[in-house]
Amino acid sequence: MKKNIVIGIDVGGTHLTIAPVDLNKREVLLEFTKRLDFDSNGNPEEIVEKWSKLIQSVISDCSIDIIRIGIAFPAPFDFEKGICWIQNQNKFDNFFGLNIKSYLASKLNIDANNIYFSNDAACFLKGELFSNTMESARFPVGITLGTGLGSSRIVNSTVVDAQYWNMPFKEGIAEDYLSSKWFSTRYNSLTGELITSVKDIATKLSDSDLNKRIVCKNIFKEFGHNLADFIIAIYPEANPDILYLGGNISKAYHLFKDSFLEKITEKGYEVNLKISTLGENAIILGAASLCK
């Protein structure tokens, strides 16, 4: 394949997704995508060994000659040196202090300078801008809603992790109110029942029990208000001209859209909102764009 093909990788707490990316066409080559589930609390050497074998298999499948790899990884992390500093997050604890860049370079027999790292939240926004050829957007903001709250924005022409997840918000921090955990906690407090996913709550909107339908509808309405309050809170600093919304919870946007827009309008704000259609591929594209 041509020199414009690079490897993009999204590393999460439970999985790794890898795909070649055509930088000229700004496309993920979906037919070569591979995924590996792993326990991030396991043995680091064994895990990185599995990563390197999967990376090598994709490289072989695509017949890539000049190997360049962009990797999206959670923080805290020394992205320039490739050293993991995650601790006490119930993931990657055993990776603390490990130079993943050097380890991978050795396993793959490539120059460590051809391996690039960036924050996963920042890669989401990078990927959206790269895919939509909107790199000229002045103040784009990326928000991912899932097991946690991810955020990114541009500072001095560089996409960075905005770290809004731990900003003071209501009676706690923003992530307390804008994550899948909030949904399960809120549902439990209102019904006494345990539920683990936002998708399950959405399913109950068609439940035969009217009271349950009303509870679930109100939960999504409340979440829409929470999201609006959060956007309004970051607006003075971020001043977004476009807001990209991603993560698994964004797939349920139609269920909290009305309450979100109602609160935004009520407070006199206008938001140029774009729901991501790329899914995980936004992060893959963003990671790959590091190789440009």
The verdict on 115 and 48 lying in the same domain is yes
Closest CA relative to residue 255, chosen from 212, 280, 218: 218
Give domain status of residue 109, yes or no.
yes
Give domain status of residue 44, yes or no.
yes
Overall domain count for the chain? 2
The verdict on 101 and 191 lying in the same domain is no
Give domain status of residue 11, yes or no.
yes
Range of the domain at 15: 5-125+281-289
The verdict on 101 and 144 lying in the same domain is no
Give domain status of residue 132, yes or no.
no
Give domain status of residue 118, yes or no.
yes
CA dist., res. 234 & res. 240, Å (int)? 9
The verdict on 101 and 147 lying in the same domain is no
The verdict on 12 and 103 lying in the same domain is yes
Strand partners, 168: 173
The verdict on 150 and 109 lying in the same domain is no
**pLDDT confidence tier of residue 176, bands split at 50, 70 and 90:** very high
Give domain status of residue 58, yes or no.
yes
Query: Tokens 């490990």, residue?
Result: 98
Whether pLDDT at 289 is above 80: yes
The string of pLDDT tens digits covering residues 130-148 is 887 555 678 999 999 988 8
Encoding tokens for residue 209? 């029990």
**pLDDT confidence tier of residue 3, bands split at 50, 70 and 90:** low
Residues in the chain: 292
